[in-house]
Amino acid sequence: MAIKKFAVAAYDDEAVLFPAVKKVRKSGYKLHDVYTPFAVHGLDVEMGLKETDLHIAGFIYGICGTSTAVGFISWIFTSDWPIVYGGKPHFALPAWVPITFELTVLFAAVGMTLTFCYLNQVMPGVKKHVFHPRQSDDLFVMAIELNEHTPEAEVIKFLKSTGAKETSVQTAEEGWWYGRWDKPEAYEALNAG
Amino acid sequence: MHIKYESFVREPLVDGNKDYHQVSEDIISPIERKPGRMWYIGFFFSIILLCFGIFSVSWSVYWGLGTWGVNRTIGWGWDITNFVWWIGIGHAGTLISAILLLFRQGWRTGVNRAAEAMTIFAVMCAGQFPIWHMGRVWDGFWVLPLPNTRGPLWPNFDSPLLWDVFAISTYFTVSLLFWYSGLMPDFALIRDRAKTKLRKRLYGLASFGWTGTAKGWQRMEALALVLAGLSTPLVLSVHTIVSFDFATSVIPGWHTTIFPPYFVAGAVFSGFAMVNTLLVITRKILKLEAYITIGHLEAMNKIIVLTGSIVGVAYLTELFMSWYSQAWGEMEAFKWRIVGPYWWSYWAMMTCNVVSPQLFWIKKLRRNIPFTFVMSIVVNIGMWFERFVIIATSTYRDWIPGSWSYYSPEWPEVGFYLGTFGLFFTLYFLFAKYFPVVAVHEIKFVLKTSGDNYKRGMQPIEEKSAEEFIHEQEHHHAEEHAEMAHH
């Protein structure tokens, strides 16, 4: 993680945001991220993001749940402590369907949610830089990473030309850190720690 | 960008002149204000009920279940009746949040948050009943699959009662995850708006540090879709398994194959009634009429009349099958249900569940708020009686006429039931005060297609001739393709 300089543009309409994202990608500036108050469909495609593989992880967790249930119950009832219940055979697979199903769902759901939290780096106590306090309210906020080849003034001028309502230049930690949301951070201190 | 267009035939999901900011303002500002007097009064009564419930349960545990009215033939009584009733109520939340998501029903966005909260609280209430019904509750961990030396070394995985343990704990966990993952962005909104330090700190914690990145939203949608796909069979399995508690036994009146679909329909039926009870009040007090519209209530009333009719057909099928089987025990059990000492519970069930919901075929009544509220209570009373009928009137006259009996509850059983109302409403009042009652980000998602003011903005497009419209759209597409080819 590192502290970097960003040019930030806030848009108030998806219809302006989409062409702006397209122009930024064409211009060659480094698009850091776009923050939106809700899921804007097609934005990930426009930004050139890959489709997520989260559902594949979910499938794998589900299979783990299935095999845990079947393996565990059949070991118990056929080898560890076989008991005859109501004349059923020891290996009573149809009677195990409900628990097997429930564990499949449980493993898939819990595993997927934890993976989701890990990938998105969200957890209680996690803090991230908020580029605009209204990015969760009614603004679509785009952050562009600046470097020595991209002068601030030029990028800001470019962003304004794409229809941004507000622009700013900010220094911020690009990743996450542990912190309290009611306490502002000194970014230099973050780096030193 | 394509135009966002939705037919005028569909009524708006958000009434009035709203933009994104106004949506945040309307839904979040009640959290930032001090609650009104109604809230304090309601919360106070809920706490009183909860305390009485805790007292009743403590009494039952201290003196034993002999303080209850349950006896040799009726072992389940009010306790399991209440268990099935609460767990059934929970089903509507999952139906709204999961099944309606898969069916792409836009109207779920206005009601899903509160309905899911209701699910979670109802399952918490339901879970109390089997636990305290154990009597020696300190041995409750025996239901867990832990190796031990107390007799049969493991719990019985072939038993529907153990399936229930897995079904309900999984249901609770998955519902909670589904609900909370959708809450994170709304907590982030409260955090970013917060004026006081404490609020910023607490909602910052609750938001898990969500910032709304494009990748984050993409994963969020993938997660929601898969969780919906998992919850759909899950919710059906839960009440199916609850019905197995009865159906896999050989008690006349319980031993029927119709139970799983009949229980699931009944669960959805009672759950939607409870959603209506809660939302009619909530939308009024929090002034959310623009988001939980009469259209939303009407949609739920339609589901109530549908599931109520399914339940009615199931009741009649049961009667037919008991006659068709020509099994003496079955026929007697149903005869006594109708004309025996518990006739009043059977007829209360029939009136509340089968006859009265049919009034919802009339559109005027479906859109009438006081009527909806009264009906929602009637349906919940009816569904409580359904479970009571199944439990009490199938067991009070068993195979030995000498042990035939009658059952009425003692005060600890009634107190326990009232206590779960206390628990439910305490949690719901806290939810209504501290949580966004409507999913803000989901409302914003449908706002430009289904908001009243945006729909009116589509009027000029609506008035165009089809040829003109197609021509313009084709032109638009051609432009886009050309640009893509250019890349």
Would you state the pLDDT for residue B155?
Answer: 87
- What's the CATH code of the domain at B352? 1.20.1630.10
What percent of chain B has a predicted confidence (pLDDT) above 70? 95
Tell how far CA B420 is from the center of its chain: 15
Residue A56: pLDDT over 90: yes
Query: Is residue A5 less than 8 Å (CB to CB) from chain B?
Result: no
The overall average pLDDT reported for chain B is: 90
What are B327-380's pLDDT values in tens digits? 988 999 999 999 989 999 999 999 999 999 999 999 999 999 999 999 999 999
Q: Is B170 exposed, middle or buried (0-12, 13-18, 19+ CB in 10 A)?
A: buried
CB-based contact B211:A128 (threshold 8 Å): yes
8 Å CB contact of B237 and A101: yes
Cite the DSSP H helix spans in B340-439: 343-350, 363-366, 369-395, 411-434
The beta-carbon neighbor of A138 closest among B24, B177, B178 is B24
Q: How far apart (Å, rounded) are the C-alpha atoms in residues A35 and A138?
A: 11
DSSP letter, residue A9 = E
Q: Does residue B479 lie within any of the structural domains?
A: no
A42 phi/psi in degrees, rounded to 5: 95, -15
What are B162-211's pLDDT values in tens digits? 999 999 999 999 999 999 999 999 999 999 999 999 999 999 999 999 99
What are B417-474's pLDDT values in tens digits? 999 999 999 999 999 999 999 999 999 998 888 888 887 877 777 777 888 878 877 7
Q: Does residue B461 lie within any of the structural domains?
A: no
A163-184: average pLDDT: 90
CB-based contact B164:B242 (threshold 8 Å): yes
Q: How far apart (Å, rounded) are the C-alpha atoms in residues B239 and B91?
A: 8
| SS3 at position B384 | helix
Chain B positions touching A102 (Cβ under 8 A) are 163, 166-167, 170, 234, 237
Would you state the pLDDT for residue B42?
Answer: 93
| SS3 at position B389 | helix
Residue A50: pLDDT over 60: yes
The DSSP annotation for A14-61 comes to HHHHHHHHHHHHHHT-EEEEEE-SS--TTHHHHTTPPPP-HHHHHHHH
Domains of chain A from N-terminus onward: 3-47+139-192 (3.30.70.790), 54-120 (no CATH)
8 Å CB contact of A54 and B159: no
Q: Does residue B181 lie within any of the structural domains?
A: yes
Rounded to two decimals, what is the model's pTM?
A: 0.92
Q: Does residue B208 lie within any of the structural domains?
A: yes
H or E element that contains B285? helix B259-285
Residue A1: pLDDT over 70: no
Q: In total, how many domains does chain B have?
A: 1
Please give the C-alpha separations between residue B381 and each of B85, B342, B356, B374, in angstroms, as whole numbers. Answer: 10, 16, 12, 11
- Which of the four pLDDT bands, split at 50, 70 and 90, describes residue B2? very low
Residues spanned by the domain of B416: 20-145+154-401+411-450
Would you state the pLDDT for residue A158?
Answer: 92
Beta strands in B257-346 (DSSP E): none
Q: Does residue B63 lie within any of the structural domains?
A: yes
Please give the C-alpha separations between residue B424 and each of A176, B50, B178, B182, B427, in angstroms, as whole numbers. Answer: 37, 9, 19, 21, 5
Query: Is residue A126 less than 8 Å (CB to CB) from chain B?
Result: yes
The beta-carbon neighbor of B166 closest among A35, A51, A102 is A102
Measure B301 CA to nearest chain A CA, in Å: 29
DSSP letter, residue B194 = -
Measure B213 CA to nearest chain A CA, in Å: 5
